[in-house]
Structure 1
Amino acid sequence: MVLSRHVIITPCPDRPGTSILFSAKRGALILVDDELLAAIGAGGLDADEEQILAELGFLVPDHASEQQEMRSFIDESNRVSRSFSALVILNLSCNLACSYCFEGNRRGAHFMDDGTADRLVAYLISGPVAEGRSLSLRFYGGEPLLSVPTIRRIARPLKKVMDARGLSFSFSLTTNGTLLTRELVEELIPLGLVGATVTLDGPPDVHDAARPFVGGEGSFSVILANLKAVADLIALEIGGNFTPETYREYPRLFDLLVAEGLGPERLALMRFNAVMSAGENRALPEFTGGCASVNEPWLKDATLFIREELLRRGFPAPGLSPHFCAIEAEDSLIVNHDGTFYRCPAFIGIEGLAAGSLNDGPSDHAASHGLGGWKNEECLSCAYLPLCFGGCRYYGYLEHGRIDRVSCGRDLFDAIVGPFLALEVKYRHQPGEDSTDTDGDPD
């Protein structure tokens, strides 16, 4: 057995003589002392130790077979999936006037009509539901809660059919939170509502500057009141979008949430990302911030700063785990308000990147989207491959004007993975007396 190419080894700063080993293939983290690390490198383990480390993805029979395993990783994931998810864009309208609105001049009174909603229901019932798959929808916008009648029109028949067939159905919302009242949530839960992702772009002053109502007044207080009112009913994920100028303000938000009774025990996840730049006719012209590349130097500091502030307070934050772009997933789909299919919401409206429609069914997007572009020697030998599989294709589009090229994040991974793992150990990894903890779950 040999050490996997997709293992990251970094010293544990708080434990002299100890290293952190992380399997990017399995998301497993272990702590080993110098003696055991030397034994792993020299092939000096006993059979039981080899078996444990192999099961956790640290050891492989040989690199050739591992490379073949990685080549088929996404295909195998697609093959075994028994679920189907769809992100449904109900409209391109909004009651906020965010400074960085991604829809840009595409924003307007564009709503999914009843006929399109009915065709979507029929498509899902005749497709994934007929195949016996569980079904989860995420309603998106614009602001999806400006289209509550359409949510009812889609969710009610799907819930009825799925219940009759003994299949799981649920839906969630990506919403600005201003309309997420307790009364509405109580109405939607019987139809399948299980959660919502709500955006807070920092403490009140920072958030209100970035995300005011159309009339100019701040939105933070309304959102906070709604979050407090529904936190006991559904799973809440708090998201946010930071810039180089705002990310250091986030600790004030975290402390405010705790003070307002929205501490770690009441939130399902906290996930914050840099504002992405947008192509022509997408971002608002007065907004000039945002990332056009994952390798912008300030991203390292911002990512680690926000993560440590979350973990310090005990908030749930996503860990490192295998991840691939949605365009390669056969069990998910983006449905625009007009019934056009896409493989990523960032591609909506970009010429040549539609992937079928409700009228015509899905189209073959392998060539147009550059599927499998990561199956090259450089990517296959990279320790970080399971964490990105070629990276975000929209970043690739911003960098190269096309999406059939990988967006390599090696520089960012090199900068943050070691410190990221050290934070896991410091705040969330609790090994016992043995210097090796092989639970395989850093979360």
Structure 2
Amino acid sequence: MTRSKHNIFRKLKDSDNYILLNPLSKQADILSPELAREYEKGNIADPTEFIEKGYLSDEGEENRRYRNAYLSFIEAREAEEVQVFFVPTYACNFACSYCYQESYDHANDSRNPELTDAFFRWLDTELAGRKKYITVFGGEPLLPSSASRNVLERILTKAADRKLSVAVVTNGYELENYIPLLSSASIREVQVTLDGVGVVHDRRRPLHGGGATFDRIVRGIDAALAAGIPINLRAVVDRENLPHLPELARFAIARGWTGNPLFKTQLGRNYELHTCQIDQKKLYSRISLYEELYALIKENPEFLEFHRPAYSVTKFLFEHGELPDPLFDSCPGTKTEWALDYTGKVYACTATVGKKGEELGTFYPEISRRDEAIEEWEDRDVTSIPECANCNLQLTCGGGCAAVAKNTKGKILSPDCRPTDKLLSMGIPLYFTIPGDK
């Protein structure tokens, strides 16, 4: 028996104890300093439990378990819903300080009904037999124009004909005016971004030409929840606004949002995707963001009522009482996600949609496929990325984002590494009471 190559072993933050976790056997334990030393030295007095939990394993048996888990992962993914993004426009009424689509061309944006019809023909042919739903994306899909309203109404009607639900990603400025239309449809959720309260948000997400947006977005969120429309509130985080997140949390709690079952939250890290950020110093790495969040939550524990950061698999373990299945692939592109835009082009995901050179085919004026490029996306997981082969974090990382990997390393079959061991070392003491710790 040897130590499993999938063991994750790390000292917990602000603790003398350690976490030992194996995502393949789906086991996790807190080790005392004494037991941790025995484990490190490979001299465990009673290894019975370590063997039973897969921390000590026969290599042949572990390889068999790995293959079976991989086949189960692929089978489960084939049964998952596919999220299909549709971008009717890259135009937007906001001038966000960190917009990665700022350089996108929307001069020939016609938003004509033929494109919407072609989008649904693509759905009917390319994803026939798959469970799916539509997410209307932008740009800004809820603009104050008859063209925007007409295209959304057409999408909702055609989705209803196919019994498909629809999500909408919006800046929220015109949300209140769209409530009657949205209330008539099967809306899965509306994602709205608030980066803080009042001026904190307004200086990051103003109108084009200037102008505050916070108060009007809040009215839209209130109206949506009152109409029974689920809200997914997103905050885009960097060093500029992270210190103000507790204020946003308190605002949401006081507003009654966090007590509403239709309300949920997410944090998005501001990072360089396609176009250069003007102020690189304000950007967090993955680990530095979670380190700052850790300190923020320790000082403001009520923040967890507003949002629970994932900290790799920690949040899942806390909420479900068990570890998730092994993650062989964290990139949904072309497997459970596609993105199509008004130019008639098809892309793998929202991180690539609209970027020149990332097209995987067309849906208008005709359907076409770049099969070789699509196959490269479809084949990408930890079993096809050479750097993942001997990494003990592979089944909690999943290889990361293919678009980011391609941007930084030049090829899809390269990793976008995620420091899941460091995240676990913070998440475990944040969500669980550790014996002997204060």
What is the TM-score when the length of structure 2 is the normalising length?
A: 0.78
Q: Contact 2:70–2:328 (CA<8 Å) still a contact in 1?
A: no
Distance in 1 between residues matched to 2:338 and 2:280, nearest whole Å: 29
- Residue 231 of structure 1 aligns to a residue whose secondary structure is helix
User: Where do 1:104-115 residues align within 5 Å?
Assistant: 104-109=102-107, 110-115=109-114
**Matched residue SS, 1:272:** strand
Q: Are 1:314 and 2:305 matched, yes or no? A: yes
Q: Does 1:336 align with 2:341?
A: yes
Counterpart secondary structure, 2:114: helix
Partner of 2:6: 6
Picking from 289, 292, 297, the partner of 1:299 is 289
Q: Which residue of 2 aligns with 1:438?
A: none
- Return the letter of the residue paired with 1:134: K
Cα offsets for 1:250-291 (capped at 9, x unmatched): 111111222222235456432212212143xx457xx33378
User: What is the CA deviation profile of residues 329-356 of structure 1, one whole-angstrom value per residue up to 9, with x for unaligned ones?
Assistant: 4232111122211112222343432111
Distance, in Å, in 1 between the alignment partners of 2:25 and 2:307 is 20
- Kindly tell me: are residues 175 and 7 of structure 1, through their superposed partners in 2, closer, same or farther at Cα, counting changes over 3 Å? farther
Please state how far the C-alpha of 1:36 moved relative to its aligned partner: 9.4
* Pair 104,97 (structure 1): closer, same or farther in 2 beyond 3 Å: same
Letter in 1 for 2:367: D
Match of 1:413 among 393, 417, 420: 420
Structure scoring higher RCO (CA < 8 A, sep ≥ 6) equals 1
Deviation sequence 1:346-370 (CA, Å, 0-9, x none):
2234343211111224432256659
Q: Is the 8 A contact 1:198 1:236 kept in 2?
A: yes
- Larger CA deviation: 146-155 vs 89-98: 146-155
Structure 1 residues 399-408 or 223-232, which shifts more? 399-408
1:346 aligns with 2:351: yes
- Equivalent-residue separation in structure 2 for 1:345 and 1:251 (angstroms): 29
> What's the offset of the Cα at 1:69?
4.6
Match of 1:92 in 2: 90
Residue 398 (str. 1) matches residue 407 (str. 2): yes
Q: Deviations over 1:191-220 (max 9, x none)?
A: 211211111112222211110011311111
Deviation at 1:28, TM superposition (A): 6.7
Distance 2:26 2:260 in 1: 24
Cα distance change, pair 4–223 in 1 and its aligned pair in 2 (3 A): farther
The answer for the alignment partner of 1:44 in structure 2 is: 48
Q: Give 1:160 shift.
A: 2.1
Using the TM superposition, give the Cα deviation of residue 402 of structure 1 relative to its aligned residue in structure 2, in angstroms: 4.0
SS at match of 1:91: coil
CA distance in 2, matches of 1:27, 1:264: 32
Percentage of pairs with the same residue: 21
User: Counterparts of 1:13-412 in structure 2 under 5 Å?
Assistant: 20-24=19-23, 42-45=46-49, 50=52, 53=53, 62-69=61-68, 72=71, 75-79=74-78, 81-109=79-107, 110-128=109-127, 130-131=128-129, 133-146=130-143, 147-162=148-163, 169-181=164-176, 184-232=178-226, 233-265=228-260, 268-279=263-274, 282=275, 287-289=278-280, 294=285, 298-305=288-295, 309=300, 312-317=303-308, 319=310, 320-321=312-313, 322=327, 324-326=329-331, 328-358=333-363, 359-364=366-371, 365-366=373-374, 369=377, 371-372=379-380, 374-375=382-383, 376=385, 378-409=387-418, 412=419
Query: Structure 1 pair 82/275, CA: closer, same or farther in 2 (3 Å)?
Result: closer
Instruction: Report if the CA contact (8 A) 2:387-2:414 is conserved.
Output: no
Deviations 1:401-421 (A, max 9, x none): 443422223xx4343321022
The amino acid across from 1:115 in the alignment is E
CA distance, structure 2, for counterparts of residue 299 and residue 392 of structure 1: 17
The 1:243/1:227 distance shift into structure 2, 3 A limit, reads same
Distance 1:266 1:67, change over 3 A: closer
Where structure 1 has 5 or more consecutive residues not aligned to the other structure, the ranges are: 163-168, 430-434, 436-443
Determine if contact 2:137/2:168 at 8 Å carries over to the other structure. yes
Contact in 2 for aligned 1:390/1:407 (Cα 8 Å)? yes
Structure 2 counterpart of 1:423: 430
Gaps of 5+ in 2: 314-326
**For residues 421 and 173 of structure 2, what CA distance do their matches in structure 1 show?**
39
Letter in 2 for 1:200: L
RMSD, matched Cα: 3.7
In structure 2, what residue type is equivalent to 1:315? Answer: F
SS of equivalent to 2:124: helix
SS in 1 for 2:95: coil
Shift of residue 372, structure 1, vs aligned partner: 2.6
